[in-house]
């Protein structure tokens, strides 16, 4: 597994605050060293050259599949969307890594009824929807995901894992690591490990009262408090 757990977070400038709160939620609970990197189009440069799709709701809709390449096809890495909050030790997720699989995901049966989600983005429907939002990746077994392939494959081929020889290479993660806020039944947060604000997060004014918004705002306040304490020590 290596000395550090590698986490890649999809980054979109529209959700900068979501990215920062998410990475804080990971680091503040981790029991092992964690390296966190944004998958940002601005930093990827020519590695990500495909034109933006009209159905693409975030900058990282396709760039997420560069995770194995960015990991030198070595060891295990985690990719997660930025519209999430981790409320558990991320090391316990990496402990689930099983070398039989190329990738491990929460196997949602997600069939959204709405046509529009946050900021007017089109809500698309397809088989294996949201499976790619949390991916524990066995990088050596994902060598098909070259930059050329990621830039030319169809969106469905990528998100439906058509780059694997067969679906038996997709392992299953516990649902607690991919709770879909607004879709899944609301349960006590103690029963969950990761919240996914897939329709819209509380950092958008229209979703400030969404389920578990209080947990997100509390995390943001803890992050800001840490910043204030740091400033006071530097005076």
Q: Which residues contact 150 (CB under 8 A, 6 or more apart)?
A: 48, 50, 62, 63, 65, 66, 69, 158
Strands (E), the chain: 5-10, 34-39, 76-80, 84-86, 103-105, 134-138, 170-172, 179-180, 194-196
pLDDT digits 0-9 by tens, 6-51 = 999 999 999 999 999 999 999 999 999 999 999 999 999 999 999 8
What are the structural domain ranges in the chain? 5-234
Look at domain 5-234 and name its CATH class.
alpha beta
Per DSSP bridges, beta strands 84-86 and 194-196 are: antiparallel
pLDDT given at position 65: 98
Q: Look at residues 133, 113, 232 and name the one whose alpha carbon lies nearest to residue 182.
A: 113
pLDDT given at position 118: 47
pLDDT given at position 1: 55
Mean pLDDT across 205-215: 96
- 3-state SS record for 193-213: CEEECCCCCCCCHHHCCCCCH
Mean pLDDT of the chain: 91
pLDDT digits 0-9 by tens, 119-142 = 545 556 568 889 999 999 999 999
Q: Which residues contact 162 (CB under 8 A, 6 or more apart)?
A: 153, 156
Tell me the whole-structure pTM to 2 decimals.
0.89
Report DSSP state, residue 129.
T
């Amino acid at each position: 597994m290596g000395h550090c757990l590698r986490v890649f977070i999809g980054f979109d400038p529209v959700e900068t605050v979501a990215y920062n709160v998410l990475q804080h939620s990971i680091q503040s609970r981790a029991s092992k060293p964690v390296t966190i990197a944004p998958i940002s189009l601005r930093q990827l440069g020519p590695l990500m050259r495909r034109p933006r799709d009209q159905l693409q709701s975030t900058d990282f809709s396709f760039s997420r599949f560069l995770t194995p390449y960015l990991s030198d096809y070595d060891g295990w890495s985690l990719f997660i969307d930025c519209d999430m909050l981790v409320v558990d030790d991320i090391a316990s997720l990496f402990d689930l890594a099983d070398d039989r699989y190329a990738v491990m995901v929460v196997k949602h049966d997600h069939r959204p009824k709405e046509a529009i989600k946050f900021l007017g983005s089109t809500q698309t429907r397809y088989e294996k929807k949201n499976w790619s939002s949390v991916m524990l990746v066995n990088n050596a077994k994902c060598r098909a995901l070259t930059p050329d392939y990621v830039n030319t494959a169809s969106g469905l081929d990528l998100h439906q894992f058509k780059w694997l020889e067969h679906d038996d290479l997709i392992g299953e993660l516990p649902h607690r690591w991919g709770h879909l806020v607004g879709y899944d039944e609301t349960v006590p947060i103690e029963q969950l490990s990761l919240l996914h604000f897939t329709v819209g997060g509380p950092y958008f004014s229209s979703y400030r009262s969404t389920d578990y918004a209080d947990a997100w705002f509390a995390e943001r306040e803890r992050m800001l408090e840490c910043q204030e304490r740091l400033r006071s020590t530097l005076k």
